[in-house]
Amino acid sequence: MLQSTDFRMRKAGIWDIDELEDIEKKCFSYGRFSRTILLGFLRHPFSVTIVVEREMILASAILIFHTRTAEIASIAVLPEERRKGLGNMLLQEAETMSRRKGIVKLSLHVAIENSGAIGLYRKNGYSITETVKDYYGAGRDAFYMEREMGPPPSL
């Protein structure tokens, strides 16, 4: 497990596009976001991209906020940095940000063969609610997972 002094978490900006694109290529053999789509997420007012870095970006998470729900569009951790807690840390930050915005449900899609990610999400209270056929292309199915966040904080 990494120590908090080993890295820092921050909101990504347009200047991070090369590293974000590189992480997508290294993490996903299919279903990855193109540079154009990553730029769209970085520019969209209802989306946020969070990164974890130590000299370079090691992991990223992309969230899309709706009125009362949010979608985790991606959590990507460089292969050599996996199993160190970075994915969990990004997931926790996504949940914290969502609660602050009054989000009551978080959802995501995950490849059915990605047992590591499925385990992480289940451990954090996400449930598989549906299998989406061909989500990532012909023959590449995904699980749709959700987590109820509870009522929004009272004012």
Q: Stretch 61-83: mean pLDDT, rounded?
A: 94
Q: Is residue 93 part of a domain?
A: yes
Q: In this structure, what DSSP letter does residue 136 have?
A: T
CATH of the domain at 26: 3.40.630.30
pLDDT, one tens digit per residue, over 93-135 is 999 999 999 999 999 999 999 999 999 999 999 999 999 999 9
- Tell me the Ramachandran region of residue 63: left when phi exceeds 0, alpha when psi lies from -120 to 50, beta otherwise: beta
Residue 94 lies in a domain: yes
Is residue 131 in some structural domain?
Answer: no
pTM comes to: 0.89
- Which domain, by its residues, includes 32? 4-107
Residue 145 forms part of a structural domain:
no
Number of compact structural domains in the chain:
1
Give the residues across from 62 on adjacent strands.
Answer: 49, 74
Between 6 and 95, the more confident residue is 95
Strands 142-148 and 127-132: antiparallel
The verdict on residue 149 lying in a domain is: no
DSSP code string of 70-105 = EEEEEEEE-GGGTTSSHHHHHHHHHHHHHHHTT--E
Domain contains 24: yes
**Does residue 104 contact residue 151 with C-beta atoms inside 8 Å?**
yes
Is residue 31's pLDDT more than 90?
no
Asked, for residue 116, whether it belongs to a domain, the answer is no
In a domain, residue 129? The reply is no
φ, ψ dihedrals at 145, nearest 5°: -120, 150
